[in-house]
Chains A and B, each alone.
Chain A
């Protein structure tokens, strides 16, 4: 990969905030932060750290990582951020060490003793500032985790670092404002979509599909007892009409009962990025809606972090092993297709198509082959990008960074640099990126880097390829 030129570096890391704000907050980061009490930050950071250690499972991982870390630097080769900047501070192991060092110094007996003997002052305000910067340079994609012979998960450390920082008031304003609307606002979702607007746009989409496909494809709202209750990233209702049409069309073809709850219809959960507390509260909102409508399965739309936060944390916070199953919409479509309930017309897409694995879906091996099989069924020219599947490179907007508009130059030139080159090398006309965050980031990337590739969702293409059959009264075209 081409390293950054000096000009690009200057642009990517240019301050985005007014000098007086940086001075007032004493926080030279590039993302906007709501004003907070900046006094005694090291002390308050340690208090928050201690409180988190007391009530959570993080101490186990910190102890382990402190003991085994071998500093082999294999992770550096896998980090798209480090490969772009070449800055040692962007090596995953270096970043994690920022927090591990504090843990060792303040929360282990040997560290405290050594600190006293050597007169080490411990955590300083500069270190807090450094962490506030470093933990939001990481996209928490977990690619480095799979190259660490010691099994260190740097994304877990990033998550923890951000959680502690958020407890002392340091979190990107873009994320904080969205979460506030989601948890306390009138609309109750991150994009502030009011219910009447939701109804209107869904009706409009149904009309559109009727016109295009000659089939009545409804978006059932508030239906009690449905088999599936659907939570896409709420931004899909504003920006991803084609994906939603595909979702509805798949259900029209399979005949399963599904619904969207007007009480809560947002799959987004920024808690996964920066706060366990938010993660839990958002999932409780989801649970309330699921229980209100007595749905049987939770279906998450094309969104990586929404899928992961529901799949892996809904059982944690909402009923344990008895919690309702969580399914990603691509899993659902794939299963229906395998069962013969979803008919797809082969060779519907003649142009070259490639697939981008969203980190939150692919890294654990959860949704990897299903979308590929579906794509191969409808595309005559499917090409893989390299590397792919579990080893895929992050789009550069992971970990919530894509929602922070003011750091776009960083995302374009640093975070997404490897991805842009990877997609360009495929020569594909369409890149399927089944994740609301990846889609936004990749579209901006393609424009920025002048790559002629259209970013679409998997369901955008499925919609074109579904064969409703003569019984549906459609024209099948």
Chain B
């Protein structure tokens, strides 16, 4: 079993970590390029960058905003995020692993603090799960991944905590460690492809929204022309009647139609 553990926190971890970094890099680059392209397509180039920065920073440090809506859930979420970021990066055992692999590292946090943060994070994850399951609105919105994520993260934290505390026998220790490592690897790989992508994309949201409201001059005409209605825009009576010419199907939609 120790070979499996070594594999999980050695090569597999490195692969998972690289996939995560590349995946996140890809979506960040796509988004940044998208922002620049959208900005260039607009003619006035007037974007309220100050407001964008204020909103972005406001949400990165959201302490003052929590009470405005779903205060208990939001505060729980903040605690959860603090634990989620602090413990994996600053747990002394993780720092040591990192030093062993790369030769450099940063100071770890004191063990008692890590313990408390871990327990808080697990409690917060369960709180978020319940806040979702028992809130009518949230339940209506939730997808499978919205339930899986808090459960998965609570599990990996719990396995890690048990490993470092309970007076386990060597075998039990290895079993929990195996769960901890393989779940962590799975989480890393899943990050770029699920809503956890917000860990890098959320700070770009305000900028995206700001440039998305910058409409493109002439786009209305071009949309109508693409649809085959260049001479009958939406405000003309009966513009889109059955007598209108068949629209040339644009690429994506056309592909879809072929697929059917």
Residues of chain A whose beta carbon lies under 8 Å from any beta carbon of chain B:
34-37, 39, 43-44, 46-61, 63-64, 67-78, 82, 86, 88, 91, 93-94, 97, 106-107, 112, 115-116, 122, 145-147, 149-153, 156, 166-169, 171, 176, 179-180, 183-184, 275-281, 312-313, 315-317, 320-321, 323, 364-365, 391
B22 contacts partner chain A, Cβ-Cβ < 8 Å: no
Partner of B197, one of A57, A68, A280, A316: A68
Known: A36-B241, A37-B242, A277-B233. 10 other contacts (CB 8 A): A35-B241, A44-B247, A46-B253, A50-B249, A52-B223, A54-B250, A63-B30, A70-B195, A169-B239, A280-B220
Expressed in whole angstroms, the Cα–Cα distance for A44 and B253 within the complex equals 9
Residues of A within 8 A of B247 (CB): 44, 47
The 8 A CB mask of B195-227 against A (1 = contact, 0 = none) is 101100110111011011111111111111011
B105, chain A: closest CB distance, angstroms = 31
Residues of B within 8 A of A153 (CB): 209, 212-213
Residues of B within 8 A of A78 (CB): 69
Chain B 31-78 residues near chain A, CB threshold 8 A: 31, 34-35, 37-38, 41-46, 48, 51, 55-56, 59, 62, 65, 68-70, 73-74, 77
B10, chain A: closest CB distance, angstroms = 30
Expressed in whole angstroms, the Cα–Cα distance for A166 and B233 within the complex equals 10
Expressed in whole angstroms, the Cα–Cα distance for A55 and B237 within the complex equals 24
Q: Are A184 and B236 closer than 8 Å at their CB atoms?
A: yes
Residues of A within 8 A of B222 (CB): 51, 54-55
Mostly, the B contact residues are helix
A134, chain B: closest CB distance, angstroms = 14
| CB contact under 8 A between A64 and B204, given known A72-B138, A184-B235, A277-B233 | yes
Residue in A closest to B251 when the chains form the complex, CB atoms: A50
Expressed in whole angstroms, the Cα–Cα distance for A414 and B77 within the complex equals 31
Q: Are B249 and A149 closer than 8 Å at their CB atoms?
A: no
Expressed in whole angstroms, the Cα–Cα distance for A396 and B107 within the complex equals 55
Expressed in whole angstroms, the Cα–Cα distance for A312 and B43 within the complex equals 12
Residue in B closest to A121 when the chains form the complex, CB atoms: B260
B115 contacts partner chain A, Cβ-Cβ < 8 Å: no
Partner of B73, one of A37, A72, A176: A72
Expressed in whole angstroms, the Cα–Cα distance for A96 and B23 within the complex equals 26
B131, chain A: closest CB distance, angstroms = 9
Q: Are B219 and A55 closer than 8 Å at their CB atoms?
A: yes
Q: Are B253 and A47 closer than 8 Å at their CB atoms?
A: yes
Residues of A within 8 A of B135 (CB): 73
Q: Are A63 and B31 closer than 8 Å at their CB atoms?
A: yes
Mostly, the A contact residues are helix
Expressed in whole angstroms, the Cα–Cα distance for A391 and B42 within the complex equals 29
| CB contact under 8 A between A82 and B215, given known A50-B253, A168-B240 | no
Q: Are A60 and B68 closer than 8 Å at their CB atoms?
A: no
Listed by A's residue number, 17 A-B pairs whose Cβ atoms lie within 8 Å are: A50-B251, A57-B41, A60-B31, A60-B211, A68-B201, A72-B77, A77-B70, A88-B140, A97-B141, A147-B68, A150-B202, A168-B240, A171-B234, A184-B236, A276-B223, A280-B217, A280-B218
B165 contacts partner chain A, Cβ-Cβ < 8 Å: no
Expressed in whole angstroms, the Cα–Cα distance for A77 and B73 within the complex equals 12
B257 contacts partner chain A, Cβ-Cβ < 8 Å: yes
Q: Are A57 and B74 closer than 8 Å at their CB atoms?
A: no
Q: Are B143 and A50 closer than 8 Å at their CB atoms?
A: no
Expressed in whole angstroms, the Cα–Cα distance for A72 and B141 within the complex equals 8
Residues of A within 8 A of B70 (CB): 72-74, 77
Partner of A106, one of B69, B132, B241, B256: B256
Partner of A151, one of B65, B140, B209, B257: B209
Residues of A within 8 A of B209 (CB): 61, 145, 151-153, 156
| 8 pairs of A and B residues whose beta carbons are closest in the complex | A277-B220, A151-B205, A88-B140, A61-B212, A50-B250, A73-B138, A315-B44, A76-B137
Residues of B within 8 A of A320 (CB): 43-45
| CB contact under 8 A between A150 and B256, given known A67-B197, A176-B235, A180-B237 | no
| Chain A CB within 10 A, most for which of B43, B141, B240, B242 | B141
Residue in A closest to B212 when the chains form the complex, CB atoms: A61
| CB contact under 8 A between A150 and B253, given known A156-B212, A278-B235 | no
Q: Are B48 and A277 closer than 8 Å at their CB atoms?
A: no
Residues of A within 8 A of B51 (CB): 364-365
B252 contacts partner chain A, Cβ-Cβ < 8 Å: yes
Residues of A within 8 A of B171 (CB): none
Residues of B within 8 A of A281 (CB): 220, 233, 235
Residues of B within 8 A of A67 (CB): 27, 195, 197-198, 201
Q: Are B208 and A64 closer than 8 Å at their CB atoms?
A: yes
Residue in B closest to A151 when the chains form the complex, CB atoms: B205
Residue in B closest to A282 when the chains form the complex, CB atoms: B235
Q: Are A156 and B240 closer than 8 Å at their CB atoms?
A: no
Q: Are A93 and B195 closer than 8 Å at their CB atoms?
A: no
| Chain B CB within 10 A, most for which of A44, A48, A59, A313 | A48
| CB contact under 8 A between A47 and B227, given known A71-B142, A73-B70, A122-B256 | yes
B1 contacts partner chain A, Cβ-Cβ < 8 Å: no
B159, chain A: closest CB distance, angstroms = 24
Q: Are B236 and A180 closer than 8 Å at their CB atoms?
A: yes
Residues of A within 8 A of B166 (CB): none
Q: Are A47 and B249 closer than 8 Å at their CB atoms?
A: yes
B36, chain A: closest CB distance, angstroms = 10
Q: Are A56 and B205 closer than 8 Å at their CB atoms?
A: no
Q: Are B205 and A64 closer than 8 Å at their CB atoms?
A: yes
Residues of B within 8 A of A37 (CB): 240-242, 244
| Chain A CB within 10 A, most for which of B73, B220, B260 | B220
Expressed in whole angstroms, the Cα–Cα distance for A313 and B31 within the complex equals 24
| CB contact under 8 A between A179 and B235, given known A50-B253, A68-B195, A277-B221 | yes
Partner of A51, one of B35, B41, B227: B227
Expressed in whole angstroms, the Cα–Cα distance for A70 and B59 within the complex equals 14
Q: Are A77 and B69 closer than 8 Å at their CB atoms?
A: yes
Expressed in whole angstroms, the Cα–Cα distance for A299 and B255 within the complex equals 48
